Amino acid sequence: MNIRLADRMSQVKPSAIRELLQLGADPSIISFGGGYPDASLFPLEHLEAVFRSVIADNGHEALQYTVSNGSPKLRGQIAARMSRDGIDCGADNVLVLQGAQQGLDLVAKMLIDKGDVIITENPTFLGALIAFNPCEPRYATVRMDDDGMDMDDLERTLARNPGAKLLYTVPDFQNPTGVTLSLERRRKLVELANRFDFVILEDTPYREIRYQGEPLAPIKSFDTEGRVIYLGSFSKILAPGLRLGWAVASEQIIQQLGLLKLAADTQCSTLNMAAVSLFLDTYDIDAHIATIRRTYRRKKDLMLDTIRRTFPQDVAFTEPSGGLFTWLTFPEGFDTTRFMADHALPEAKVAYVPGATFFPLRQEANHARVSYSTQSDEAIVKGITALGQLLTARLQA
């Protein structure tokens, strides 16, 4: 039998990253491909303690259904953390999500009709494109430099797409480039959103993983008209297997997103929400985040130093102040997908994510995303050195 799928399914395809993650499971390959956090940083003892307490002391409630927007206590705790970060909000401005990914799905559902324009950074997070595609949007892109989206280019994009409905950005240590949007541009972005009447989706799962410099105020903190939707996540600061993230937005928007959340999956796990809530009450998550930062900073420094030592001069790389990724740019004409299949995997035994898939429109072949989060120090040096030697031999041949 041949099921007649909905039209939108023509936009829903297996992703290259998914296959790559499967490659990464081969133990002889050093994979810099995945965007996973370092599992050795999970606070297992504390998580075990809070799950035990919650089930033993409050299991009848913690294993039952709860309200679909998320447990009121956790929403309040998230609102308090967000307020400390410069976002004036209360529990009614917070929706607990099945990871920030769910926010991408729900926001697109709420706003996007077929053919509506979504503006993204170029390149942008692949998971966002995957979430948006079932709504059949058109994409328009904005050039990036070391300070994130180029605001002049954004104005040109808006002039060409005056009805654009949504702008999607990862302003802190972007996935895939590692680049951070400057403070001045954050202000400018909100001005443009007010002028051109679009919604900003600020997706910032890496925000608290900053190694150097002061945090830049969230875009949401400049929001004067309730048109910025902020997405945060416990995946990188606690553990992704809990599947907990959140949205912060105006009450009007949270109410709409909450109705879509109820329709999509009723609610997040009551148990996981109760456990994280107790964790926040009992332990010092900021001290835990400080440990994560130190570890990733060391790995980032080690990777960048190894790149500097071993890569040919004509491979450029970004210098992230936080997050999990650096972005490699090879000379024009270099094809990172082909190079990985033909050389990096079989000869250097190294995997990365070829960059083409992160471009919503014209796919550029000469980039790669490299993550330093999951490999040991030794594997980082070994893998990057092997890749550098191979590149040196190939690019200078």
CA gap 150, 189 in Å, rounded: 10
Decide: helix, strand or coil at residue 376. Answer: coil
Sheet holding 94-97, edge to edge: 94-97, 245-248, 228-233, 199-203, 166-169, 117-122, 138-145, 148-149
Q: Which of 155, 160, 156, 110 is nearest to 135 (CA)?
A: 110
Residue 369 φ/ψ, nearest 5 degrees: -100, 130
CA gap 208, 229 in Å, rounded: 18
Helix residue spans in 25-134 (DSSP H): 44-62, 72-84, 100-111, 126-132
Decide: helix, strand or coil at residue 356. Answer: helix
- Of residues 261 and 300, the one with the C-beta less far from a copy of itself: 261
Quote the least distance from Cβ 214 to a copy of itself, whole Å: 30
- Of residues 127 and 388, the one with the C-beta less far from a copy of itself: 127
Quote the least distance from Cβ 245 to a copy of itself, whole Å: 9
Q: Identity (one letter) of the amino acid at 12?
A: V
CA dihedral 44, 45, 46, 52 (to 10 degrees): 100
Q: Distances from the Cα of 270 to the Cαs of 224, 258, 267, in angstroms?
A: 33, 16, 8
Quote the least distance from Cβ 310 to a copy of itself, whole Å: 29
- Of residues 180 and 299, the one with the C-beta less far from a copy of itself: 299
Quote the least distance from Cβ 302 to a copy of itself, whole Å: 21
Write out the H or E segment, with its range, that includes residue 16. helix 16-23
- Of residues 109 and 288, the one with the C-beta less far from a copy of itself: 109
- Of residues 51 and 317, the one with the C-beta less far from a copy of itself: 51
Quote the least distance from Cβ 5 to a copy of itself, whole Å: 6
Quote the least distance from Cβ 189 to a copy of itself, whole Å: 15
- Of residues 131 and 209, the one with the C-beta less far from a copy of itself: 131
- Of residues 253 and 345, the one with the C-beta less far from a copy of itself: 253
CA gap 169, 122 in Å, rounded: 10
Cβ atoms of 370 and 352 within 8 Å: the answer is yes
- Of residues 133 and 141, the one with the C-beta less far from a copy of itself: 133
Quote the least distance from Cβ 352 to a copy of itself, whole Å: 18
Look at strands 117-122 and 138-145 and give their pairing: parallel
Quote the least distance from Cβ 68 to a copy of itself, whole Å: 8
Quote the least distance from Cβ 317 to a copy of itself, whole Å: 25
Q: Which of 120, 89, 101 is nearest to 268 (CA)?
A: 101
My answer on whether omega of the bond before 123 falls inside 30° of 0, hence cis, is: yes
CA gap 249, 213 in Å, rounded: 27
- Of residues 152 and 225, the one with the C-beta less far from a copy of itself: 225
